[in-house]
Each structure stands twice: as C-alpha cells, then as structure tokens.
Amino acid sequence: MAEAEIPGASGAHIPPHSPLRRPTWSRRLAELLKHPLLVLVIGALVSSVLVPWISDKVEKGRIVRQRKHDLALEVVRKSQQDAIRLNGMDTILRDYYRTKLAASRTGHQSDELRTTADDFEKAYRDFNATAWYWEWDIANQLDVDGLLQYSSLKGYKDLATTYSELLNQAARSLAHLKLRLVRGEDVKELAPEINKPLQDLNRDMSDKARSMGRLVLADPSRS
C-alpha cells in the first residue's frame, strides 16, 4: 500500500488556496512595518509626542531637584543666622555682666550699662524679626509644591518642631538672664548663669537643621 502524501512535505504540491500558503501573523507584521507610510507615521509620533514628553519630564525633574537643593541650603543658612544672633546676644550679656561686676566693686554706675542694655534690646528685636517661623515657611513651600512625600514631610515637621522648641528655650534663657541682670540682682550670684554657654543648644539646633536639610535632599518628590 502506498503511503499518503503529506501536504507541504518536500516536493509535495500545495494548492494555491491552502492554509499552509497563508502568511503567519509575524510575517504580516514584518511586512506591515516595512511600509513607508507606517514608518513615517511612527517617526512623526516619536518626534512630536514621545520626545517632548521625555524632555518635559527631564526638565521638571531638574527643576524639582534644584528647588529642593535651594530649600535645603536655606534651612542651613537660616539656622546659622539664628546661631549668630543668639551668640551675639550672649556676648552682649557677658559684657553687661563684666561692666556691672566692675561697677559693684568701685561703687560707680557706668553709662556703659545703659548702652549695653540698649544694645541687647536692639539685638533681641532683630532676632525676633527674623528667627521665628522660617522653618514652617519652608515646610509650607515643600507641601504646596509637592516636593516631599507625606511621610517625609511629617518627618520634616517633627524636626522643625524640635528646632523651634530649642530656639525658644535659648531665647527665653537669654531674655530671663538679661532681666535678672538689669533689675539689680547680685551679679556674683549670677556668675553660674552667665558662664553657662549656649554651646549645647546651638549644637542641638545645628544637628536638627542639618537633618532637615538632608531629608529635603534625600526624599523623592511626589511630582
């Protein structure tokens, strides 16, 4: 008995309308992609849609990174200004203390005491005008501009709260010491207070400010 002929086998005849003669989907796709009009359309879409979209995303990312960098530097700059003003008021009080101590020994009141007290009041007014709320102003900018994710924004606000408390503690201690000096307390009894430096508070505030700046730079934006 002769073996049946397998259609499509080598040397076998395949009818013109046989399914075996129909092109596969991959062959059809390859032929379609070769069509000049389709190539032109794809090129137009890439150049008019995809390339501008990518460029826009890259530019927005650059702007966000620059904005966050500027705000992180602002945190550091503002905290340094706070430290400079606190140290300046501390220096004025030390000068007042030394002048008053000398006056208590000689029995002569010096006009320098009034001048020094006025210098402190001016320095304290300048401090009050610039020291408060800048950390919250930056927090609002980070929130409104969508520069931090929610968890990181909350972390920034927690650090800002601690920074504000430390700053308030330092300012209150200086104002209280000034009041005690001016109202006539025995300057010798104030020696431990006047010799108590602000170094610990300044260090703690500086640490918090650096942490705030690092958080702003490290966090991925929500945009």
What the block records as the tokens of 180 is 């005690």
Mean pLDDT of the chain, nearest integer = 80
Residue 206 has pLDDT above 70, yes or no: yes
Domain assignment present for 201: yes
* Residue 2 confidence (pLDDT) above 90: no
Residue 84 resides in a domain = yes
192 domain residue, yes or no? yes
CA 156 to chain CA centroid, Å, is 8
The total domain count for the chain is: 1
Q: What are the DSSP calls for 181-215, one per residue? A: HHTT--TTTTHHHHT--SHHHHHHHHHHHHHHHHH
- Please count the other Cβ atoms lying within 10 Å of the Cβ belonging to residue 218: 11
Rg of the chain, C-alpha, whole Å: 38
Does the residue 204 lie in any domain?
A: yes
What tokens appear for 209 in the block? Answer: 């400010």
Does residue 171 form part of some domain?
Answer: yes
Specify if 214 maps to a domain.
Answer: yes
Residue 168 within a domain: yes
Residue 60 CB partners (closer than 8 Å, separation 6+): 223
Range of the domain at 133: 74-218
- Say how far apart CA 142 and CA 74 lie, in whole Å: 12
Phi (first) and psi of residue 68, to 5 degrees: -65, -40
Query: 56 or 85: which carries more pLDDT confidence?
Result: 85
Place of tokens 């430096």: 197
Q: What is the mean pLDDT of residues 77-106?
A: 86
Q: Retrieve residue 92's tokens.
A: 């004025």
Q: Please determine, for residue 1, whether its predicted confidence score (pLDDT) is greater than 50.
A: no
Range of 29-38, 60-69, 73-82, 189-198 with top mean pLDDT: 73-82
The terminus-to-terminus CA distance of the chain in angstroms comes to 77
Helix (H) or strand (E) run with residue 73 in it:
helix 51-106
With a cut of 80, say whether residue 190 has pLDDT above it.
no
